[in-house]
Amino acid sequence: MKLYGIPNCGTVKKARAWLEGRGIAYEFHDFKKDGVTEAMLAGWLRQVGWQQLLKKTGPTWSQLPEAVKAAIKDDASALRLMLEKPNVIKRPVLEGNGKVLATGFTEADYERLFP
């Protein structure tokens, strides 16, 4: 299992603490250090769509020009933005066997995944 995100993100910290507290093994992929590839994002977008993967909260999104925000209308336009600005990817992304298990973190979602 792999957890993707940014180590100083509060939501990522919560997800990591939750997994570690239950002894669930995972590999962490740091968007900043390990990068984000077009193939990785395209695979996630095929599975969950841009609306679920795009993080429209936070400073990165809010600082984008309105024209850039308005241009995000499909997987292809979201992919271009996510490659340019990985901070707009909803995090963490939890992946198991190549399948997106969750985007973001809530205890309820993780408890359903790991009863």
Unique residue bearing structure tokens 């190549």: 98
Residues designated as active site: 9
CA 81 from chain centre, in angstroms, equals: 13
Asked whether 16 and 28 are in contact (CB, 8 A), the reply is yes
